[in-house]
Structure 1
Amino acid sequence: MNDRVIWPASMGALTRFEAHGWRVHATQEVSYEVRQIDGIFSLDSPELIACGRAQPCLRQAIVIDARVDQLYGEEMRAYYAHHGVEVSILSLSVSEETKDLDAAMTIARHLESAGVLRRSEPVVAIGGGVLLDLVGFAAGLYRRGIPYVKVPTNAMALWDAAVGIKTAVNALDRRNRLGSYHAPTVALLDRSFLSTVESRELSNGMGELLKLAVIKSPRLFDLLERHSEMLLLTRFQDGIVAPEVIGLAVEGMLEELAPNLWELTLDRCVDFGHSFAPLVEMKALPELLHGEAVALDVLFSCRLARARGLLADQDVRRVVRVMKSMQLPLRHRFFEQPGLLQEALADTMRHRDGRQRLPLPDGIGACRFVNDVDADAIRIAAEEMAHADA
């Protein structure tokens, strides 16, 4: 029997393809905004009231990192009181070690007790990347998906975790092993939060800037090469370089994410720095932070690229100098263990459907994917990692 359209529609269709068989075709439009703003808790700022929607949100459930609550909670509460918004606030202490299903269930219980409406009352997540991941994960599961807003408060989140649609929790002794795709309504990026971020956490977030610069943006790399020390010293509060650096990083991420939000294509250049680091990071917790692990992965991958003639010695030395200026580590014992690094790559290959799909820099600012990195190449690069400036 030939296919026969029973119900056509702009967002879906039903066809009958045999006597007792039907095929459903459906699409779901995803649209969200990412905005750079200043002074999110300023009384004249409309962003948190609007939550990216046409109508103001006058009842909001908020999940805020406990440390951020200590620093900004009074200002946040005054902002909502000024605008007459009814809020239910969960102040949650989170870390990479507690980014799990239990934490997600704590958030779900908060949503239930707050009685959030299914469509018109977005949940507001205010915190770093761990908290944004947790809230996105819980919001995606609660009532099979309710809207939420991301307000990143640390460097890692500002130009990485806040701009995509992936959510996750750690499980099964693996980082982000359980997750989903759930787009926020809007992500509001306010760099003033970085003024109170500790120096190591700021350096940690710059590991993701390094990743993007090396694999995608010569302009971003040039800015980091010239201004990383200043950006750290001023905590990204200068009015010229910092906005451009953040803008380049966010736009670069979105350029890669937007055509492939659900990762139907597994060759992703933004996976650079995330081929060996995920397993190493889980084994090294809490001594190695995420961005530090990413930066070490970047350096290791640069050494793999140099061995293939994709990257010049001079370029590897430039990467090392930028890492030093960012106060990122150049060595860690786990990146000097070939067996562990082979295990890490094998684990990543399962995530990439059985192939390496390893993004390597093809010169600063360009990417090439390879699938034939062998044990000898890993051993040689691991030996080089023991000599930080090599």
Structure 2
Amino acid sequence: MSALEVDIRGRAGSFEIETAFSAGPGVTALFGPSGAGKSTLLKMIAGTARPRSGRIVVAGSTLYDSAAGIDLPPERRGVGFVFQEARLFPHLSVRRNLTYARWAGRRRGTRAFDEVVALLGIGDRLDSAPATLSGGERQRVAIGRALLADPALLLMDEPLSSLDKARRGEILPYLEAIRTEAGIPILYVSHETAEVAQLADTVVLVDKGRVAGVGPAAAMLARFSLAAGSDASEAATLIEGRVTGIDPAYHTAVVSLETGRLELTGNGFAEGMVVRLRVRAADVAIASAPHDGLSIRNQLPCTVGALHRDGAFAMVTLHLGEQRLIARITAKSADMLDLAPGREAYALLKAVSVEMARIERQTTGG
């Protein structure tokens, strides 16, 4: 049995909610455009909005079952909720905010206070007032408060949307740590591909209240990038590889893939790391053969898959063994290269254009 099972129907604004999916421990992203019904779905799971019918089960406990007449109130669902804004109590210290849920619920809790504080890096702010915290610190306190309520499920409704880019970069490593350490299912609502690429294990594509697809993050983000109506300029895909070499003199690392290898710039790499990389479609060029004398050192052999034309541009799916890249090139270039499904080609990527989305794990072998 999955840690979370959702099969509900209801209404959000002008369209129907009709959603069914399951999730295990780790981060499941509800991903789609603004207004797709993602936040309403979270509220239905939390119990602050009511479905018309269906069933919600968390860790074997039924929270809602219209056929059986079960509809637990929010305070009995064992669900932690992190909103877009921190919603801290301004008259309470950070420490009192963190422990409020335990105090209000008259329970001791099983998750160690000191461990959560250390995990979120807020040990030096426990006696501070919320008004003295940065936006990122306030969100970390809000996340800590939710974790210390010992939830069986953590819901996060665009928790970084109120932060600027610098603060988002500050808090993302803490969210990664929670994904690894919490051991519970986390539903994460976002319409930002970079966040989903870094955090999500599974992606549920939501469109007008309905599930358009469920699967691994790489496959779902690629599907979303190719969907009609998606912002082609933001299209990106994920690939995974293992670091097999480091050149400290040039601050580069070699990441081996199934069909070739990438040379990437940056620090923080170590041999044996398995990394997830985010590649924007606009940063991928295509050649019919490898070329010497280029500053672009990454030239990956691949096979052309689907090709979608959109006016002056074409979105080309490139297969790297079992993994995929998407390239956004001009339609004229696609014709000049005579691209067609099944044709051999080379994907060209600048080292500086590939983002390390996250470290999956680190191995000890060669």
- In the superposition, the TM-score normalised over structure 1's length comes to 0.31
Write 1 or 2 for the structure with the bigger share of helix.
1
- Structure with the bigger RCO (C-alpha within 8 Å, sep 6+) is 2
Write 1 or 2 for the structure with the bigger share of strand.
2
- In the superposition, the TM-score normalised over structure 2's length comes to 0.32
